[in-house]
Structure 1
């Protein structure tokens, strides 16, 4: 099934189910002076939908702030407010965060779940044990699974981690529309949990095998987890809370990995937003969030001298770094490996001259400062079959002069 991508401004897939009550015989209701009238309800919907702050709505309708918040919850109203947070908002968030579902807090404050997450981190609030799921969250989960909504988007909409979604889906006995055939619900739940924790696919496959699940190929595993929508961005506009949180991370030099998971953003999204806000280069750590040690001038000089000449694996071992670290730094420095450096016109001419004058592949490779295997492959692709030839020292300049 093709994934059902959500609109960037969507606040809910379906309304929360209305609890069925046993109808009692009709009787006269006592008069309440504070009862909400239809006119007030309509006025509340209009002001709330126009992103008017809760305090201003209370003044406009003539009711207390607590009454407005309660009525918003009763009517099931939701919005993604872009207004500044007030002291009352922060106090309410501090009191309830970690004790109640993020979706419930977001509803009462008129915010998106991602905005609540961002503000909580700005206030250095921490989560305790996950709160109980609400009827609204269950309704969004069921509908999202039925429509095949990518899990990354669904997690952001509901305000729960992907692992929490999978666990709840298992409890409710529902399967995602793109659930892979032949996979148990427990297996996909564990796979998503490991992926969200930052493990590589190869490590996840090995860990799942240790837990008794079937052996999967890396390619098949990657296709499966992507089909479920893990890692897919949403394209939402950035909120002021998220911008402030990103700026705080740059100021304090902290990792963005938790933000990427909780806000449903990709690393590319964070990078581009930092560029837009003028934050690039201002991080407290010289190399951003890279865990490895900084590169010294001496190490970079050695990399320039040996990259493409010494096997990358051997070079990485001698420098005490990983192959990925070597290739990444080489790319930053603009170095090109001998195997992939394009052949120049002079080198192509030298190849033709060497073929006609009896020069061996090994000697030609030395003259071109390339790997013999690379030169041999290039020669074969261009119709030159050198065969075995006697060795003799040549230079690129000498070959070109012999033309």
Structure 2
């Protein structure tokens, strides 16, 4: 139980026992590790108290594998809130997608839904569905007999809804909700109840109380759709309701109070408005934006400062977010030109820094640019700096250019400032 909610079903019926062999059974030899009735009762009690299998094994003085095997043989299942252990995760990773989920859940003492949830968190993928086990077939048959929804049965046995329906069809099972065809008397009665304003679920209950076949809400809705008897839950629109809807569209009023007063759904109102050809105009020219409206003065300032002032600083000055600034600038077709172009000296410093083994961080600090911007500019021109040691002292652009001039005077490098550093960088 969880609070006052209904109990969570983990099993509809016990797995059918195997047929007992005929004739007289021979005497079995004594085993010191055999399970006694007292141990089995204690195991059931500890399992019902939601103790981990490891703690149960410690309390009983047995191995974890033996306790897990006995839990599986006894068919014990529970909706547990205890955390998954590393041993259980390893077992789940090893077996998931190969063994049936019901078998894994039985040996772990958990529900199929818990196994699926844990497998999803572990990013485990499932291949072809394994064969159905006798326990799963037993739950399927019992669920169809009891009239439980197929979606709930699929959750209990740990199968997809489509797979469960396919298995039921193969076993020749028919759910009681799939009732026989509609008679003329039933159709006339449904139309009369719908015209009186009753909901589909209530119509199904009324039909059952009057001696007709029990019908579900979806069954009644399907019949009404096939008959073309209107939208919503069967209540026709009156002239007064149409007048209120038309006035709401004419005055740009909210449809929420109208939906509450008329007891109509949002889809029903939209369908009726489309049927009447109503097209509303928006009461707010700026839409439903939560921030302040953009005035002509705001737009003029944005046109003047965008691309010249950093966006974060401009957003603080205008009392808006950066996203708002970017969005309005995009709507106005403004192009951000804040990133200054590279000068000839900066390009020369880039080539010298690459040739002299200067680190990217030192080059970015000397240029007064962000390291990501320098990295992108250098990569577009074929300069791959890689990992380099940072300099001990802070360098400037003049210091880097001086290294290039010294290299040209000594004649140790090529006249363009490039040396064998690219080859060394490639070999790294």
* TM-score normalised by length of structure 1: 0.45
Larger Rg over CA atoms? 2
* TM-score normalised by length of structure 2: 0.43
Q: Which has the higher contact order (CA 8 A, sep 6+)?
A: 1
